[in-house]
């Protein structure tokens, strides 16, 4: 028996090692949500990001002039919008006061910079230099001046990994700002699409898409993108809406983490319906 095993090992050791490592990988694949695995991951990317942040600072300073120019332009546009919105805000506050609605608009913003990017067509992630120490928690939305970028996936003491919109695992409840119709938007590896929209629903090219208050991930309205194309195949029941995001996800450098996580109290209450 020992001789047989010894012969088998010497003849097939490459295959035995391959099988063992493949099995180990499959076990790890099934343990992705495990808390202990998440902790190990937080330590690993936290340590590595410390080095990366020094390195990325060198490169980001080279592009700072170009970015300053863009920010100045955005700032000027925003200044004009603010004065207009301030007027609307005062009216809105008065009207909300009259009908007794609670104000949910004051959201804390945590500034952060991208220290590394893991580009993949399906699993696009970025690492930010803000972590648990800055009160960043998994589940918080990440934005810049153009709109939504993604969600914090995991955090270490000083760094966080963000799943951007270009990640097949991130599916968002969004709505059409004009027609108020809701839908699920996802990245299919090539484009952003809102799926399973009945043909009778009102969508037009150029409509603004924002996150929906129904979303369990981003419960505040944040700009996402514009309707770019509507696929309306005659033989199919639903239409597919293609969306062009406001944010250029490949060039994001400075951004903000919105300091909110979805209320567990609200989530528990909603889940009661399924019990």
Partner 1 sequence: MNWRQLIPLIIFFPLLLLQVTIIPLISIESIIPDLLLIAVVYYSILHGQIYGTILGSIYGILFDLIAGSLLGSSMLSKTVAGFIAGYYSSETKRDQYLNSYSFTFVIFLCALTDTAIYSFFSAWDFNINLFRILFNYSLLPSIYTTIISSIVLIIPYKKGFN
Would you tell me which residues interact with partner 1 (CB under 8 A)?
Answer: 13-14, 17-18, 21-22, 24-32, 37, 40-41, 44-45, 48, 51-52, 55-56, 59, 116-125, 127, 153-154, 161, 163, 166, 168, 188-190, 195, 250
- In the complex, minimum distance from the CB of residue 2 to partner 1, in angstroms, rounded to a whole number: 22
Give Dmax (Cα) for the chain. 88
Q: Which is nearer to partner 1, 58 or 79 (CB)?
A: 58
Beta carbons within 8 Å of 201's beta carbon, 6+ residues apart: 179, 181, 239
Q: What's the rounded Cα separation, in Å, for the pair 117 and 236?
A: 38
- In the complex, minimum distance from the CB of residue 198 to partner 1, in angstroms, rounded to a whole number: 17
Contact 164, 192 (CB under 8 A): no
The angle that helices 64-99 and 35-62 make with each other, rounded to 10 degrees, is 120
- In the complex, minimum distance from the CB of residue 259 to partner 1, in angstroms, rounded to a whole number: 21
- In the complex, minimum distance from the CB of residue 210 to partner 1, in angstroms, rounded to a whole number: 24
- In the complex, minimum distance from the CB of residue 133 to partner 1, in angstroms, rounded to a whole number: 19
Contact 75, 22 (CB under 8 A): no
Q: Which is nearer to partner 1, 148 or 210 (CB)?
A: 148
* Three-state DSSP state, 245: strand
- In the complex, minimum distance from the CB of residue 211 to partner 1, in angstroms, rounded to a whole number: 22
- In the complex, minimum distance from the CB of residue 165 to partner 1, in angstroms, rounded to a whole number: 12
Q: Which is nearer to partner 1, 76 or 121 (CB)?
A: 121
Residue 147's nearest CA partner among 115, 178, 172 is 172
Alpha-carbon distance values, 218 to 66, 103, 125 (Å):
31, 17, 18
Q: What's the rounded Cα separation, in Å, for the pair 145 and 256?
A: 9
Q: What's the rounded Cα separation, in Å, for the pair 156 and 145?
A: 25
Q: Which is nearer to partner 1, 57 or 68 (CB)?
A: 57
Q: Which is nearer to partner 1, 19 or 269 (CB)?
A: 19
Matching residue, tokens 């090692």: 17
Tokens of 266: 């609200």
Contact 174, 183 (CB under 8 A): yes
Q: Which is nearer to partner 1, 39 or 72 (CB)?
A: 39
Q: Which is nearer to partner 1, 36 or 84 (CB)?
A: 36
């Amino acid at each position: 028996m020992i001789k047989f095993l010894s012969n088998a090992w010497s003849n097939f050791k490459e295959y035995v090692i391959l099988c063992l490592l493949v099995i180990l990988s499959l076990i790890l694949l099934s343990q992705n949500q495990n808390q202990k695995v998440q902790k190990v991951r937080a330590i690993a990317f936290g340590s590595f990001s410390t080095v990366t942040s020094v390195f990325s600072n060198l490169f980001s300073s080279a592009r700072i002039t170009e970015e300053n120019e863009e920010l100045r332009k955005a700032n000027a546009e925003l200044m004009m919008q603010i004065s207009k919105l301030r007027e609307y805000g005062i009216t809105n506050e008065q009207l909300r006061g009259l009908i007794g609605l609670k104000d949910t608009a004051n959201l804390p913003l945590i500034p952060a910079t991208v220290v590394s990017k893991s580009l993949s067509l399906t699993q696009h992630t970025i690492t930010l230099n803000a972590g648990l120490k800055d009160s960043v928690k998994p589940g918080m939305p990440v934005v810049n001046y153009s709109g939504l970028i993604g969600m914090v996936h995991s955090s270490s003491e000083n760094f966080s990994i963000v799943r951007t919109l270009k990640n097949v695992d991130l599916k968002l409840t969004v709505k059409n700002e004009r027609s108020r119709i809701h839908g699920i938007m996802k990245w299919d590896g090539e484009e952003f699409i809102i799926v399973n929209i009945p043909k009778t629903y009102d969508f037009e090219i150029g409509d603004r898409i924002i996150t929906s208050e129904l979303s369990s991930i981003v419960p505040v309205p944040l700009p996402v993108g514009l309707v770019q194309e509507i696929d309306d195949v005659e033989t199919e029941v639903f239409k597919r809406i293609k969306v062009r995001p406001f944010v250029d996800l490949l060039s994001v450098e400075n951004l903000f983490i919105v300091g909110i996580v979805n209320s567990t109290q609200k989530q528990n209450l909603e889940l009661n319906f399924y019990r």
